[in-house]
Structure 1
Amino acid sequence: MALFHTVSKRPLFLTATSTFRFCSASSQPSPDHETAVVTAVSVLKHHRSKSRWTHLRTLFPFGFDPSQFSQITIQLRNNPHLALRFFLFTIKHSLCHHSLLSYATIIHTLARSRQKSHALTLIKSAIRKFPDGNTNLPSSTPPLIFETLITTYRTCDSAPFVFDLLIKACLQSKRINQAIEIVRMLRTKGISPMISTCNSLIMSVSKHQGSIAGYEVYNDLLGSNKFGDQKLGVKVVVPNVHTYNIIMHSFYRDGLIENLEQVWSDMIVNNCIPSAYSHSILMAAYCDNGRMEDAMRVWEEMRNKGLKHDAMAYNTIIGGLCEAGDVHKAEEFFKEMGLNGEESSHVTYEHLIRGYCKIGDVDSAMLLYNDMCRKEFMPVGSTSTIDVLIKVLCEKNKVSEALKVSRFALKRNNMAMKGESYEILIKGLCNEGMMDEGMKIQAEMVGRGYEPNSEIYSAFIDGYEKEGNKDLVAKLKVELLQLKKSD
């Protein structure tokens, strides 16, 4: 099955570069040149693996020029592993001063045999090794290896897959504009990259240049029949559900819900069936914008279409309901999630904990928090749930429980509170007369880079006044006065 859609098995390149010669037009290969190639190929193909490399170094102490290497590699193209070993052998022993020509030949040899990882590595190496010396060229100008891959394409009996690998190499090297230009140039020659390559390009552009830029690339490459596709008779590459998901997620990330809805409509019009993930993205957008009726409509559409509600879908709807204050309905979905065999995660628990905190039901929030800890679902990399829980506990005069939550989070996951949470907890401890604990938290706060403010000083002063510790109160008032003067 062809990986590029072309007029024929091999695409037609520009006639000026379609004929490739390893030697210049003014001179034919010398007998010595041809003899060296034949001898090297014979040794590589017929000598035992342990002796062939020693024999080559003995016969060719001065190595090979790039043209010889390329001709040898061409004759090894049906044995790509041996060709790659030969290339690495010449690198290791400095037996060839490799050029764009020799790199292109080994890359084609590996690509036509679907040796993806090796070919990709060598393409990235060639991009770094042969930079364009003309600094006046636009940033979108393709790397030099691109033109050499084109001129050597037919001679190496290559496959269009090599250009997909080149585009991927550019994307991995953060050369996004070059990747876009390569795709456009290939399309003018009647070559369309695989849809997976187009998807990778759209994703990279969306990530680094924004969702609008990603959508423009989609329109250029897949949204309409541009770049002469119809004229050349090339089969147009059709976007798949992954394409639409990439664009939808990008618009969701940038908060452009109307654009997201338009892409959803385009997907339906183009007879592309949305996946469960597609529905989850649309639901998440509605939930984030408080449009719970629309989110529930999408939920029911999934059920009616026979799409399974996975963990992502459940977490999305539970989070939306909790944010809207309908925690009890969210609990129903939580129970249904378990009954349907979908595993909950720390995300599920955090939604519910924050939801109960929002409606002031701290007891239910603590039950879920304790259950989450028993299941070792402690949030990783985020302190928002811990901060929310500590704030509500202190507001409900459950300062001791708030202290336990902060201590457990620090001990279990080395998670510290935000500055505001430190202040809230210290105030609560001082109000409860737990001055020693308050001082410990204050020391931890300073160690985390938060400086005590006037509110914290006032809390300690009030607490020590209740204890009758006049000396410490006097010292703290002096420090508070100095703090206010420095402000």
Structure 2
Amino acid sequence: MAIQHLQRFKIESQLVKPFSPLFFFSSSSSTTTTTSNDDTKTQTLISILTHQRSKSRWNALRSLCPNGIDPIQFSQITLQLKNNPHLALRFFNWTQSNSICHHTLSSYSTIIHLFARARLYKHAYHTIRIAIRTSEYDDEHCRFDSPPLNLFETLVKTYQRCGSSPFVFDLLTKACLESKKLDPSIEIVRMLLSRGISPKVTTLNSLIFRVCKSRGFDAGYAIYREIFRLDRSKCEISKRGSGFKVNPNVHTYNELMLCCYQDALFEKVGEIWNEMECARNAYSYTLMMASLCDEGRVEDAEKLWEEMRNEGIEPDVISYNTMMGGFCRIGDVGRAEEFYREMTSGGIESTASTYDHLVNGYCIIEDVDSAVLVYKDMYRKDFCPVASTLDAMTSLLCDKGRGKEALKLVRNAIGKFGLVPKGNSYEVLIKGLCAEGRVEEAFKVQAEMVGKGFQPNSEIYGAFIDWHVRQGNEELAGALREEMLQTQIQS
């Protein structure tokens, strides 16, 4: 829908220099400039604002405007305050809190431009959000169904008269992205780039990331290539004038690699890595190493680690955790410990992920004592384990006949961190406790499990049945078998 409307959004074809937005319209006048500068009432209001003390100023304004101020007057007054942006802010807030002015896109645009011009970006952004939301219900004979595009058009028309800053369009794009209005964000960026006006690279990066997250990597990658003109020849680019082509930075590539990594597109991570035309940073290397580790190519990741160090790039805790996690997953906990010692000796503090990797590594090689030792250290430092770490510890302890210790570990994790064990953890606990003859404790765990919304399965029934059989309680075992069958039929 936004694209269809923009086909009607006719723009001046005059080429302008980047960051000198004369922008798109042949006339910079707006609908708010219908009153002359010698309008007595308006000038009186301006005089009150600029000369009276703050305590008497607002009462005087209210008495002079018992029926409020129309948007045209507001814009005219505000323009006279452009060199006093904080007074303009107080005036705007007063009209908002006292319902003095029924603001339109034109009046909103005036104050937005003044905020941007004065680098009051927080206030400009907040007002943009208000203008978008308000125009959804009360438009000003707007041409488009999309409120952000209507605001964009109005901001363009009023830009020159307000002496604004190009960053106002970055703020508009950011507001669209935060409001999940993706199509208008894309079209606004396209319109700006088509006239040689570039949003900041950080804004473009945010757009790419949002497209990747909501529509998949392929869609995000297509936008990346479009906005950075990667599919155009040098001849085509040169026709637009010097400075037209915006170059991606290291964060652009990192965002793309992160999206690929999160979607387990490890081959694509490598492709983006090879596309990079700028200096890589520690995060770039970490993403590539993480991709290699997840593919089981830990040796290749270690080579990349050495390359990073040779480039003089210092690894951070995420880099160390990545390598430790890679080695722990293949059972080489000794090598992971070497990275841990190097990290701590370098003054880098551990994180919860550091301990998660080490605990899981010890669980993989079934070194229960080392796993318990590291887990207790983690617990003492108030690092909350992830659910998979709790599951791994529970399984290992129960496999080693230490069900009581596993139960205590789970209880402590629930009490201290509010963790909710997975159904598998409950199953492992119940089976382990039954195997050790702690059936009363197993029944309590089973009741807790049901209270958490997990239903007992055949494995759990089997654990209780086996215990009754060992105790010679064939009647109770038979009753449980019948209950298990009935449960399976009902489900």
What TM-score, normalized by structure 1, do the two folds share? 0.90
Pick closer, same or farther for the CA change 1:142–1:358 going to 2, 3 Å: same
Which of the residues 5, 24, 34 maps onto 1:14?
Answer: 24
Pick closer, same or farther for the CA change 1:50–1:313 going to 2, 3 Å: same
In 2, Cα distance between equivalents of 1:72 and 1:92: 18
In 1, Cα distance between equivalents of 2:32 and 2:377: 71
Deviations 1:285-323 (A, max 9, x none): 000001112100111011111111211011000000111
* Correspondence list, 1:35-434, <5 A: 35-131=40-136, 142-224=148-230, 230-235=238-243, 236-267=245-276, 270=277, 272-379=278-385, 382-434=386-438
Give the conservation status (yes or no) of the 8 Å contact 1:222–1:237: yes
Amino acid at match of 2:239: K
Long gaps (5+) in structure 2: 1-14
Amino acid at match of 1:11: P
Pick closer, same or farther for the CA change 1:417–1:30 going to 2, 3 Å: closer
Deviation at 1:30, TM superposition (A): 9.2
Amino acid at match of 2:106: L
Pick closer, same or farther for the CA change 1:21–1:474 going to 2, 3 Å: closer
Q: Does 2:460 align with 1:456?
A: yes
Pick closer, same or farther for the CA change 1:441–1:138 going to 2, 3 Å: farther
Give the conservation status (yes or no) of the 8 Å contact 1:6–1:192: no
Deviations 1:143-184 (A, max 9, x none): 211111111111111111111111111111111111110011
Give the conservation status (yes or no) of the 8 Å contact 1:77–1:109: yes
Deviation at 1:402, TM superposition (A): 1.9
Deviation at 1:93, TM superposition (A): 2.6
Comparing 290-299 with 57-66, which one deviates more in the overlay?
A: 57-66
Pick closer, same or farther for the CA change 1:150–1:375 going to 2, 3 Å: same
In 2, Cα distance between equivalents of 1:453 and 1:63: 70
In 2, Cα distance between equivalents of 1:411 and 1:282: 38
Deviation at 1:130, TM superposition (A): 1.1
Give the conservation status (yes or no) of the 8 Å contact 1:140–1:177: no
What secondary structure, in the 3-state scheme, does the structure 1 residue paired with 2:228 have?
A: helix
Give the conservation status (yes or no) of the 8 Å contact 1:426–1:442: yes
Deviation at 1:471, TM superposition (A): 5.8
**Cα RMSD between the aligned structures?**
2.5
Amino acid at match of 1:14: F
In 2, Cα distance between equivalents of 1:430 and 1:78: 78
Amino acid at match of 1:327: V
Deviation at 1:15, TM superposition (A): 4.2
Deviation at 1:277, TM superposition (A): 0.8
Comparing 11-20 with 173-182, which one deviates more in the overlay?
A: 11-20
What TM-score, normalized by structure 2, do the two folds share? 0.90
What secondary structure, in the 3-state scheme, does the structure 2 residue paired with 1:153 have?
A: helix
In 1, Cα distance between equivalents of 2:463 and 2:205: 57
Report the identity percentage. 50
In 1, Cα distance between equivalents of 2:61 and 2:405: 76
In 2, Cα distance between equivalents of 1:64 and 1:250: 49
Amino acid at match of 1:429: L
Aligned to 1:480: 484
Deviations 1:52-77 (A, max 9, x none): 11111122222222111111111101
Amino acid at match of 1:13: F
Give the conservation status (yes or no) of the 8 Å contact 2:286–2:318: yes
Give the conservation status (yes or no) of the 8 Å contact 2:25–2:156: no
Pick closer, same or farther for the CA change 1:273–1:126 going to 2, 3 Å: same
Deviations 1:407-449 (A, max 9, x none): 2222222323221222222122112111111111111111111
In 1, Cα distance between equivalents of 2:465 and 2:274: 62
Pick closer, same or farther for the CA change 1:218–1:312 going to 2, 3 Å: same
Long gaps (5+) in structure 1: none
Give the conservation status (yes or no) of the 8 Å contact 1:435–1:464: no
Aligned to 2:11: none
Deviation at 1:274, TM superposition (A): 0.5
Pick closer, same or farther for the CA change 1:232–1:484 going to 2, 3 Å: closer
In 2, Cα distance between equivalents of 1:484 and 1:225: 59
Deviation at 1:354, TM superposition (A): 1.1
Pick closer, same or farther for the CA change 1:15–1:350 going to 2, 3 Å: closer
What secondary structure, in the 3-state scheme, does the structure 1 residue paired with 2:165 have?
A: coil
Pick closer, same or farther for the CA change 1:409–1:139 going to 2, 3 Å: farther
Give the conservation status (yes or no) of the 8 Å contact 2:30–2:106: no
Structure 1 runs (4+) greater than 6 angstroms displaced: 137-141
Give the conservation status (yes or no) of the 8 Å contact 2:25–2:157: no
Pick closer, same or farther for the CA change 1:54–1:230 going to 2, 3 Å: farther
Pick closer, same or farther for the CA change 1:11–1:231 going to 2, 3 Å: farther
Deviation at 1:97, TM superposition (A): 2.2
Deviation at 1:474, TM superposition (A): 5.1
Comparing 414-423 with 41-50, which one deviates more in the overlay?
A: 414-423
Comparing 409-418 with 120-129, which one deviates more in the overlay?
A: 409-418
Amino acid at match of 2:389: T
In 2, Cα distance between equivalents of 1:65 and 1:378: 57
Deviation at 1:192, TM superposition (A): 0.7
In 1, Cα distance between equivalents of 2:59 and 2:151: 32
